[in-house]
Structure 1
């Protein structure tokens, strides 16, 4: 589909529209989102329009991670498979498996983050060191968290994904967990079942509070990102208005200069016209005097001629 083509119907249009949006650089995201949402509204697809309008512009790091997923599908699938294997090994507390997989993880995360930076640079959006570190953090989260893996697999990451704190950041942490596990005191057979239930309930409540806090933080981040987008759009509009104002001032200044030149030319023409009229009046007066003098001289000549007869 051409970049400026707007869809106008079809069951899968909203998914295709979202895929297109998250493939765009962040600077193009908002304008295209509004175009696609407006097209969906025009086509009487209100639900699709709401879903499109609800899409949030990705950060530069998230866009680079999405770009990597789309541009390197085979490597991305292997990376997702590595994440599944790593999570299974951690769940089974298999130190030998973790050691091998963690070494692969470090190499692959480093290599894929470099590939993401290269792809972003080729697309005209080079990544700073801080942004590339955010890409690495997102890739580590994809390995550690199945929810993050699913989000990245769909190519619609919006912001930097963070690995869960309970997942080991390196091999030694997992090995320590494995070594400590046998030494953990076992619960005596006589412990009441009620205590187990209370502990489980508290654990569930903590997880729920954590989930609510994460959701609140995500919503706050989305609102902040929207406000930043609005500020960027306002700054761009202000800069355009300033440019137009400067151009208008330049045109006004040029017009004023032309008006001054025209007025000066008019004044010169009026002076010359007045001087010409004055010369014309003087010439007419001189001509009239000359004609009278000529008539007087002619009469004198005529009288002189009669006196000699």
Structure 2
């Protein structure tokens, strides 16, 4: 049943209803009434939601890295300085843009070009996956119906489950002085920020590397497709030339057949004339012989 629903939500929206009814009818015929009812209750996804589902199913490893990048970014955004946040935001936008273009290509390969609004909804969904753990969970399920909306800000408020306890909430050591405790806490917070930043950068770099590899593979596929298109066009031109030659040969054959038929008619006519002449000559010769015998 789960596999049926997964397949259904990667079906292009234009074919969704027909496919849903086919699957529901098959389940009902098999006696699985509850499954048929569940299938019929499935809602058709928007074009952007379908494209996001398609990305998750067709690129599982890249999607997993994207989800990991989101977790790392959400942790890092809680305690980074402004300069690090700016660099990380630039990297995040670059990853989202590249993955959005790749998803648009997947949609085109499946026979559906994303409109500009659908492309924008797709990018909003990917930003939401990075910023919001709930959105990430929804996308990871692979059955989005509508595009997701990212939070207004990418910050600690988006991920309460991963927030670290405030230093003020930790009990200070009785033997530690307030000044020493403050320095230790500050050093610990700095170490935590550096670790979070390192993880976020590593995840972002891995995602970008994966996207570069996918773009390189896509370029190879496009080059091969172009080569095949040119080869197909050459074959079509050759076929067109051959068809033209065949057409001319057929016309020449028809003309030759007509001339042959006319020649056969002439030949039969000439044969009849020759036969008549032979008969006349034979009759004349007989008459001459009779006359010769009479004269003697």
State TM-score, norm by structure 1.
0.47
State TM-score, norm by structure 2.
0.49
